[in-house]
């Protein structure tokens, strides 16, 4: 059967005797909140593959089995793409409908949102949103829609609906799947680096996250759905892995699939398959082999295609704020773009600092004891402040869409109310015009919206409902960018005789596009918060469909990253990982201190000596005592206590399972039975009880370093190979052990001190 790959001899050689000892169920699996052993998982997969390949020459059936085994990865990617795309379509359509439910209801069919309700009826040019089938709440209850009382009633209904949605969301999260709250990306990063969190990617978490994400987004809170969509896609990936033995039993292969699923998640969130793959590569994944690249791309494409065929927005676009203008930009405009980059970097650093401070307060003080009340309060404040300003009343995606949009003659929104001179209109290409009163109103309303969004997002991100960060950051950047763009436009119009404008911006020409400034601002703010580089630029230009804007986007993204990095080193996700204390070994930073392995290893000078197991002189009782008295996750096995020469390493979990199983099932095993790890049993008098052979659970090739190895090499080994622990030897004898936690603690300790001054040995 398939179970023989799982533990029969760590180094591959298996004798006749070993085959008779089938590994027990549970051996080779991991406990919750533990790190996996990448090396062991990868070697297991190679063993399995070797076995299938060697057997495939025997019969046609085996050949087909090997072909289907190779094909199973692609089939899994296809299924993940389909499921992720369908769930994203469900989320989009439901969120769109529920957001409009706060304002009114459609009489032609309650399942239509505002836009679809007015699809068929005749609307006027100036009042495109009004149609007889759509009734606002005041129209429904009172019969009329204008006047102070109707306004107050609409306000009241808006707040009530918002509170209802968010309360429902937090109750569902608390009652059914507490792991469904938050963004999910920091935890997925940790899982992909080798940590096990059971239930985090389970089916209840998937269902609850999908449902409550819609509720949270519809309640008008300042959060987005992109981060949670990555979590949803990874849940789909994890659940579908259970259909294929190859991925169900191997944690390393499963993480390859999860990387691809994360790419599919971002792909449906932004309609950007390439951006999704790059996001998975840059932000989420720890190890990203080249094979995963092609498969991630396939999964992302299938997901995007599925979403497109569901067509949630009715225009064959995957994102609400897809733009299609291709206006050229001038080199001198790089100056405002860099200014936007600086703004994005400053805002990013400010947001990370304040959000982490608030989350830390939630973790440590009494604020954390009232999650439901907290959600209620934040939603109430958000709804009460958001309704009066039309730019905060609309959903954030719609706001971004309106800000990205370039004004043409067909637009009648307040932001496009310029002073038109009809005799000089030439087709659709409008020149720069003076701002009308509508634009001035829109500007100060947008300024208020900016201030509100900057502050309310700090308290919203990290609450006990699914919350994402991308959309609020893009909104902040888009508002700032649009304001700067309009300011530049007016400056160019009124002072077209200045030296900087006269060269390229003659009166009557369309030189400044405020929509482009909004886009660059959005990219800058998003980059400042998440510190994404390539993936951000690719996502943004896949959103716009034009390669002309790569240079402004790159300039803004780079500036914002440099400014933000100068103030604080970590992006938001790494900051949350550090806040929660997850065992995540940062792969991007250099270890620059001069400590040695013996400074970090355990036991330290004053500690009791290393707990070891001898290879053939300990009894079952001795081993059980060791297990009960200590809590280490593994024990080195040595030849004897005097010589301390290393034989191998055995894991605690495997030891417990084997010993318990032997006591129950094997004959003659008592407390005084000897446990041996050697190939042949040690010579003992015939009157002694039968012995227990545990060689099959012993890892015969543990990694060792000498005590004089510099820690930078040790950290590199841990990162590159994905080790859990590493043994330290001195002159060939076992001296101590370094675990991943020790390395993390050491790095954290040194981060608070000056790198060059520590030379303790």
Taking CB under 8 A as the criterion, which residues in 6-45 touch another protein? 25-26, 31-32
- DSSP bridge pairs for 710: 596
Q: What CA dihedral angle connects 650, 651, 652 and 653, to 10 degrees?
A: -130
User: Considering only residues 485-544, where is the footprint of another protein by CB under 8 A?
Assistant: none
Q: Which is nearer to another protein, 199 or 388 (CB)?
A: 199
Q: For another protein, which stretch binds (CB under 8 A), given 50-58, 479-487, 651-659, 742-750?
A: 651-659
CB 302 to another protein: min, Å = 12
Of the two residues 536 and 659, which places its CB atom closer to another protein in the complex?
A: 659
Give the separation between CA 194 and CA 192, rounded to whole angstroms: 5
Using left for φ > 0, alpha for ψ between -120 and 50, and beta otherwise, residue 417 falls in beta
Q: Which of 42, 49, 203, 663 touches another protein by CB under 8 A?
A: 203
Q: Each residue of 498-528: b (16+ CB within 10 Å) or e?
A: eeebeeebeeeeebbbbbbbbbbbbbbbbbb
Q: Nearest approach, Cβ of 309 to another protein (angstroms)?
A: 6
**Residue number with CB closer to another protein (187 or 542):** 187
Nearer Cβ to another protein (175/685): 175
Four-point Cα dihedral 752, 756, 758, 761, nearest 10: 140
One of 157, 181, 537, 585 touching another protein (CB under 8 A): 181
CB of residue 601 vs another protein: minimum separation in angstroms? 26
Q: Which of residues 78-137 bind another protein (CB under 8 A)?
A: 82-83, 86, 89-90, 93-94, 97, 109, 111-112, 116, 119-120, 122-126, 128
- Residue 56 lies near another protein (rule: CB under 8 A): no
Residue with tokens 């990253």: 561
| 60 touches another protein (CB under 8 A) | no
Indicate the residue among 288 and 584 with the shorter CB distance to another protein: 584
207 is a site residue for another protein (CB under 8 A): yes
* 34 touches 28 (CB < 8 A): no
- Residue 467 CA to residue 458 CA, distance in Å, equals 12
- Among positions 220-259, residues that touch another protein (CB under 8 A) are 236, 239-240, 242-246
Give the three-state DSSP class for 103.
Answer: coil
Among 80, 150, 188, 214, binds another protein (CB under 8 A): 214
Residues 564-583 that bind another protein (CB under 8 A): 576, 579-580
- Residues between 699 and 758 with contacts to another protein, criterion CB under 8 A: none
| CA–CA dist 279, 300 (Å, integer) | 11
The answer to whether 68 contacts another protein (rule: CB under 8 A) is yes
Q: What's the CA dihedral at 106, 111, 115, 120 to 10 degrees?
A: -70
Q: How far is the CB of 36 from another protein (least distance, A)?
A: 16
Which residue in 182, 276, 527, 722 binds another protein (CB under 8 A)? 182
Q: How big is the site for another protein, counted in residues (CB under 8 A)?
A: 90
**Of positions 13, 606, 628, 731, contacts another protein by CB under 8 A:** 628
Pair type for strands 646-651 and 613-614:
unpaired
List the one residue out of 175, 215, 225, 181 whose CA is nearest residue 200.
181
Q: What sign has the CA pseudo-torsion 537, 543, 547, 550?
A: negative
Window 275 to 334, contacts with another protein (CB under 8 A) = 306, 309-311, 314-316
Q: Which is nearer to another protein, 200 or 549 (CB)?
A: 200
Contact 310, 300 (CB under 8 A): no
Judged by CB under 8 A, which stretch of 148-156, 175-183, 497-505, 748-756 contacts another protein?
A: 175-183
74 near another protein (CB under 8 A): no
Q: How far apart are CA 13 and CA 4, in angstroms?
A: 12
Nearest approach in angstroms of CB 631 to another protein is: 9
* Comparison of 68 and 701: residue with beta carbon closer to another protein: 68
Per the CB < 8 A criterion, the answer to whether 600 and 714 are in contact is: yes
Within residues 343-362, the interface with another protein by CB under 8 A covers 359-360, 362
Pick one of 12, 147, 178, 603: the residue that binds another protein (CB under 8 A).
178
SS (H, E, C) 174-199: HHHCHHHCECCHHHHHHHHCCECCCC
- Distance separating alpha carbons of residues 530 and 574, to the nearest angstrom: 9
- Closest by CA to 401, choosing from 415, 382, 418, is 415
Site for another protein, residues 431 to 490, rule: CB under 8 A: 462, 464
Helix (H, G, I), strand (E, B) or coil at 224: strand
């Amino acid at each position: 059967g398939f179970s023989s790959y799982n533990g029969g001899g760590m180094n591959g050689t298996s004798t006749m005797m070993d085959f008779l000892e089938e590994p027990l169920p549970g051996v080779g699996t991991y406990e919750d909140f533990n790190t996996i052993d990448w090396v062991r998982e990868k070697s297991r997969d190679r063993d399995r593959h070797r076995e299938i390949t060697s057997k495939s020459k025997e019969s046609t059936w085996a050949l087909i089995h090997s072909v289907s085994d190779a094909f199973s990865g692609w089939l899994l990617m296809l299924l993940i793409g389909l499921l992720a795309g369908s769930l994203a379509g469900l989320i989009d359509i439901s969120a769109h409908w529920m957001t409009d439910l706060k304002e009114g209801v459609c009489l032609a069919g309650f399942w239509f949102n505002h836009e679809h309700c007015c699809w068929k009826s005749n609307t006027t040019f100036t009042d495109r949103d009004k149609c007889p089938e759509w009734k606002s709440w005041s129209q429904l209850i009172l019969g009329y829609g204008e006047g102070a009382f109707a306004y107050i009633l609409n306000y009241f209904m808006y707040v009530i609906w918002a509170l209802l949605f968010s309360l429902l969301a937090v109750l569902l999260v608390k009652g059914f799947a507490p792991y469904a709250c938050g963004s999910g990306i920091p935890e997925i990063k940790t899982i992909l680096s080798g940590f096990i969190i059971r239930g985090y990617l389970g089916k209840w978490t998937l269902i609850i996250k999908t449902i409550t994400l819609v509720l949270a987004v519809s309640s008008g809170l300042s959060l987005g759905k992109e981060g949670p969509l990555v979590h949803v896609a990874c849940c789909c990936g994890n659940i579908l892995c259970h259909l294929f033995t190859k991925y169900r039993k191997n944690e390393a292969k499963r993480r390859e699939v999860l990387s691809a699923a994360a790419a599919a998640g971002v792909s449906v969130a932004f309609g950007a398959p390439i951006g999704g793959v790059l996001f998975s590569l840059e932000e989420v994944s720890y190890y990203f082999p080249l094979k995963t690249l092609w498969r991630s791309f396939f999964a992302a494409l299938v997901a995007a295609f599925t979403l497109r065929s569901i067509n949630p927005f009715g225009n064959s676009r995957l994102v609400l704020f897809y733009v299609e203008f291709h206006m050229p930009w001038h080199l001198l405009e790089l100056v405002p773009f860099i200014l936007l980059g600086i703004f994005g970097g400053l805002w990013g650093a400010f947001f990370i600092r304040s959000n982490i401070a608030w989350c830390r307060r939630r973790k440590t003080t009494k604020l954390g004891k009232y999650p439901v009340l907290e959600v209620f309060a934040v939603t109430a404040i958000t709804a009460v402040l958001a309704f009066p300003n039309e730019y905060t009343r609309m959903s954030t995606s719609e706001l971004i869409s309106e800000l990205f949009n370039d004004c043409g003659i067909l637009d009648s929104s307040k932001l496009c109310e310029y002073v038109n001179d009809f005799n000089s209109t030439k087709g659709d290409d409008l020149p720069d015009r003076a701002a009308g009163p509508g634009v001035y109103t829109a500007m100060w309303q947008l300024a208020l919206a900016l201030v509100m969004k900057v502050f309310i997002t700090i308290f919203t991100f990290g609450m006990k409902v699914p919350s994402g960060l991308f959309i609020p950051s893009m909104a902040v950047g888009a508002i700032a960018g649009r304001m700067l763009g309009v300011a530049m436009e007016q400056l160019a119009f009124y002072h077209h005789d200045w030296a900087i404008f006269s060269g390229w911006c003659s009166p009557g020409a369309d030189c400044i596009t405020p929509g482009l400034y909004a886009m660059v601002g959005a990219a800058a703010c998003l980059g400042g918060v998440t510190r994404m580089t390539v993936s951000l630029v690719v996502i943004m230009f896949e959103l716009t469909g034009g390669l002309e804007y790569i240079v402004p986007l790159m300039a803004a993204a780079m500036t914002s990253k440099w400014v933000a990095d100068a103030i604080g080193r970590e992006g938001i996700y790494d900051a949350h990982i550090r806040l929660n204390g997850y065992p995540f070994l940062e792969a991007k930073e250099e270890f620059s201190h001069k400590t040695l392995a013996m400074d970090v290893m355990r036991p330290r000078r004053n500690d009791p000596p290393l707990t070891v197991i001898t290879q053939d002189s300990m009894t079952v009782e001795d081993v059980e005592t060791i297990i009960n008295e200590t809590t280490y996750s593994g024990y080195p096995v040595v030849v004897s206590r005097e010589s301390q020469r290393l034989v191998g390493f055995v894991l605690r979990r495997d030891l417990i399972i084997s010993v318990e199983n032997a006591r129950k099932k094997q004959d003659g095993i008592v407390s005084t039975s000897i446990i041996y790890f050697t190939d042949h049993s040690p010579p003992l008098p015939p009157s002694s009880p039968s012995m227990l052979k545990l060689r099959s659970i012993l890892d015969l090739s543990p990694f060792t370093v000498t005590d004089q190895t510099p820690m930078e090499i040790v950290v590199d080994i841990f990162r590159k190979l994905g080790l859990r622990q590493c043994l330290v030897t001195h002159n060939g004898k076992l001296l101590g052990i370094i675990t991943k936690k020790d390395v993390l603690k050491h790095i954290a300790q040194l981060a608070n001190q000056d790198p060059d001054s520590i030379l303790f040995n």
